[in-house]
Amino acid sequence: MDLARTRDELPELIGRVALVPTMGALHEGHRSLIRLAHKHADHVVVSVFVNPLQFGPNEDFSRYPRTFEQDLAACEAEGVAAVFAPSVEEMYPSPLQVTVSSGTMGTIVEGAVRPGHFDGVLTVVLKLFNLVRPDVALFGQKDAQQLAVIRRMVADLNVPVEIVGAPTLREDDGLAMSSRNVYLSADERVRALALSRALRAGEAERAPSAVLRAARAVLAGEGIEPDYLVLVDPATFTEVDDKYYGTAVLAVAARIGTTRLIDNVLLEL
């Protein structure tokens, strides 16, 4: 397995290339993305880069978990061809003047709580696409709005990369796998299960208003006040009403102690 710190160090891979962009702290969810990537390409490249552009001034950039040696070992075990682990200086050698705008999609739901977040995501993803030049890139459904805005960027800017979304991987008790789960205390870990329980309660309903009522009731029962709990169109992330039918995303974000968690589920209305 090759380790590249710069574009010049990336190997020339012959055949179809898949990219799995990550911020490191790899868990089983990331590994499942890598395994799926092998089914879509001849070679898999994993990027490990904690992107400062997508963190707000009061967010956890400095304490975001960094487990680079373990990440390399996981990639080696999963048969990755190359790990691209650039420095901040390599990715952003001079102050940025031109960035990617996520448009209206980047200002609603998660974007309303984290202004500028999706602009930072799209900017780094487009740079990674230009540097690695993959044929296909894989992203987890757990970050459903991120997946939606990346798909829209690729479509709107004619980026020649196929985007594949992968199902959310969960712990045995239902908690969505996340690098931030390590921040939770034992009691907070138990309380965090209310998020997946709320989604399951909503999933059992079929009318949008009933979906939201059922999910809210679970969170209220645990005394959790979410940043948002919304039922949205998966392509635009605009909220749907009782006239809507088809696939929708029930998405939630909440703080459990000092840790902010997100989760979502796809359902049919």
Annotated binding residues for ATP, written as ranges, equal: 23-30, 140-143, 169, 177-180
CA distances from 48 to 19, 101, 206 (A): 11, 23, 39
Helix, strand, coil share of the chain (percent; to 5): 40, 20, 40
Q: Which residues are annotated as a binding site for beta-alanine?
A: 54
- Dihedral of alpha carbons 152, 153, 158, 160, sign: negative
Q: Which of 210, 206, 224 is nearest to 261 (CA)?
A: 224
Q: Which residues are annotated as a binding site for (R)-pantoate?
A: 54, 146
Let me know if 30 is a catalytic residue: yes
Point out the catalytic residue in the list 30, 38, 40, 43: 30
Q: Which of 111, 101, 153, 105 is nearest to 130 (CA)?
A: 153
* Token pair of 160 as six digits: 């020649």
Strand partners, 43: 17
Q: Which residues are annotated as a binding site?
A: 23-30, 54, 140-143, 146, 169, 177-180
* Cβ–Cβ < 8 Å for 85, 48: yes
Q: Give catalytic residues, as residue numbers.
A: 30
